[in-house]
Structure 1
Amino acid sequence: MTSLDLKFVILFLFPVVTGSLGNVSLLCRFIFLYFSGCQSRVTDVILRHLTVANSLYILSRGIPETMAALGMEDFLNNIGCKLVFYLQAVGRGVSFSTTCLLSVFQAITISPRSSRWAELKVKALKCIGPCPAICWVLHMLLNIRVPMHVSDKRNNKNITNTIDFQYCSAMNSAKVENSIFAALSLSHNILCLKLMIWSSGSMVFILYRHKQQTQHIHRHISSRSSAETRASQSILLLVCTFVSVYALSSIMYVWFTLYDKTAWWLVKTSALTNACFPVASPFILMTREQIVCRPLWRK
């Protein structure tokens, strides 16, 4: 193993270990609070799905990349390659959608209690349960084509139109007839980005107005208001992190389409860039927001 390979082992092993521990710790925390008889917030359901999606992506992308950096390039067969890349695509897509849902529902939760917003809050509370499940089904169907373009390196004879991931190979999507799926994915991404920008802007405006209205009060702010403010701030930071990582990933995708034969450093850099958000999100939520136990019998 060369020194360069050792560096990549460390680079991939660090996000796999830290990201897995962070997401599992956050998920266990939510489960513990649930079985302890604590009152859950409306966004906790989405956070649990986000944590599972992030863990799925980290494990399905980070472990194969780490093993490939260790020199084990042919450890997956054809079915294994298809399954790993399918799990990566579904996990990343669900993470995208649930982050959007999280920001939208939080904006609705802290919105003013006017008649219009009150009616919207009631409808949102009814939809919050099935929405994450719909995201999973949507991305499982949307990414059904991914296994068709992935194979192990032993079965792939066309080396001029593929991306080499060391452990598997994938056909370059820019040269595949997939305009319908590309249009669906692009429409979904643009819609989610617009919703995240709208909800983030709404939260900033609502929090600013709340701060202006409570400046004359001498630290007599209710604990509920403080908790909602902390939750909104953490979600805003989460959305900003996601948008930044998504912008970098989009640049990487453009580079993929420009290269006839993708450079190995571009593949590795893209993998590390895409892993940034799943690794960072649980620590943002745990450090910026105090997840406390509120008994169900208290109001």
Structure 2
Amino acid sequence: MASRFVAVGMIFLSQTTLGFLGNFFLFYHYSSFHYTRCMLRSTDWILRHLTVANSLVLLSKGVPQTMSIFGLKRFLNDFECKLFFYIHRVGRGVCISITCLLSVFQAITISPTNSRWAELKLHAAQCTGPCLILCWVLNMLAATIILKHVAGQQNSRNNTEEKDLGYCSAVDTGNSSIVLLHVVVSSCYDVLCLGLMTWASSSMVFFLHRHKQHILKTSLSPRSSPESRVTQSILVLVSAFVSFYTLSSIFTSFLTIFPNPGMWLVNISTLITACFPTVSPFILMSRDPRISKTSLACCGRDKKFPMLTRCL
């Protein structure tokens, strides 16, 4: 095996392993808060679902892609290919849905009491659970169309209308109207989510600026509040998502346009798609004092860290 394939395989293996461990570690800590004196924030329930979606994206793409690069060919049958691509599509869709929900929820939470969104504060926390369930259900239904366009290479007949994706093949069913309708609906959904993220992020930046100006005028402590820290973390998370999502969409478009995309294009597209699920848990852990201080003060049991027990 050529050294360049070994290097690419090690990159995929490292990315998948690191990302999965990061998401598992974050999910574990958010779950462990239930059994300690540290109370969950309102956004923690949403972030737990994000870690699950991230893990699905990493495992469904990273594992078979790594095995393919290391020389395993035709190791997935038709059903397994459809299953892996279906799980990836669901995980990817839930990622954008939950990131959008997270940014909108936080924008409503920190909005001032005299704003037009103030009335939604009382109902936002109650709607979180149903909204999360709706995100999963809608994306599970929308992802079913991928089942018609993916096949295992074991069933490949050297059809020129098939695209080699490394371990599976993309099949052209010939029904262009249905494919076009799916592309349009998916694009509209993604644009809607990105638009809501942009609006929510802009609102959060505006609210934080007003809050900072209020602190300066009243000569209060310049120390940022827990709400401000959470909001800043979500802004960083949303910025990372939009950046990686834009790059991923560009390379995915290339895969769709080119009739015979090279494996280098497939590998780069897969690598970029997995960047956000890999990076996001470390962004959240680095900015959450409850996690960064856990080894020293197990969720507030140490008197040196009383802020760890505060719930937003």
TMscore range, shorter length: over 0.9
Q: 1:180 and 2:162 equivalent?
A: no
- Deviation (angstroms), 1:267: 0.5
Cα root mean square deviation, aligned: 2.1
The residue that corresponds to 1:199 in the other structure is 200
Tell me, in whole angstroms, the C-alpha distance in 2 between the residues paired with 1:51 and 1:44.
11
Indicate if the aligned counterparts of 1:172 and 1:257 stay in contact, CA closer than 8 A.
no
C-alpha distance 70-175 of structure 1, shift in aligned 2 (>3 A): farther
**Structure 1 range deviating more: 94-103 or 35-44:** 35-44
Tell me, in whole angstroms, the C-alpha distance in 2 between the residues paired with 1:28 and 1:79.
32
Structure 2: segments with no counterpart, 5+ residues: 292-298, 300-307
- Deviation (angstroms), 1:5: 1.1
Alignment of structure 1 residues 27-106 onto 2, 5 Å: 27-106=27-106
The residue that corresponds to 2:129 in the other structure is 129
Indicate if the aligned counterparts of 2:54 and 2:91 stay in contact, CA closer than 8 A.
yes
> Which amino acid in 1 is paired with 2:4?
L
C-alpha distance 220-16 of structure 1, shift in aligned 2 (>3 A): same
Q: TM-score, normalised by structure 2?
A: 0.89
Structure 1: segments with no counterpart, 5+ residues: none
1:223-244 deviations in Å (ceiling 9; x for gaps): xx62111111111111111111
Aligned length: 296
Q: What SS does the aligned partner of 2:216 have?
A: coil
Alignment of structure 1 residues 1-299 onto 2, 5 Å: 1-114=1-114, 116-157=116-157, 159-171=159-171, 176=176, 177-216=178-217, 220=221, 226-291=225-290, 293=299
Indicate if the aligned counterparts of 2:108 and 2:118 stay in contact, CA closer than 8 A.
no
Tell me, in whole angstroms, the C-alpha distance in 2 between the residues paired with 1:253 and 1:245.
12
- Deviation (angstroms), 1:220: 2.6
Indicate if the aligned counterparts of 1:82 and 1:150 stay in contact, CA closer than 8 A.
yes
Q: What SS does the aligned partner of 1:154 have?
A: helix
Tell me, in whole angstroms, the C-alpha distance in 2 between the residues paired with 1:175 and 1:7.
39
Indicate if the aligned counterparts of 1:161 and 1:261 stay in contact, CA closer than 8 A.
no
> Which amino acid in 1 is paired with 2:151?
S
Indicate if the aligned counterparts of 1:50 and 1:99 stay in contact, CA closer than 8 A.
yes
- Deviation (angstroms), 1:197: 0.2
1:67-88 deviations in Å (ceiling 9; x for gaps): 1111011221111111001000
The residue that corresponds to 2:295 in the other structure is none
Q: What SS does the aligned partner of 2:261 have?
A: coil
C-alpha distance 241-172 of structure 1, shift in aligned 2 (>3 A): farther
**Structure 1 range deviating more: 149-158 or 186-195:** 149-158
Indicate if the aligned counterparts of 1:174 and 1:257 stay in contact, CA closer than 8 A.
no
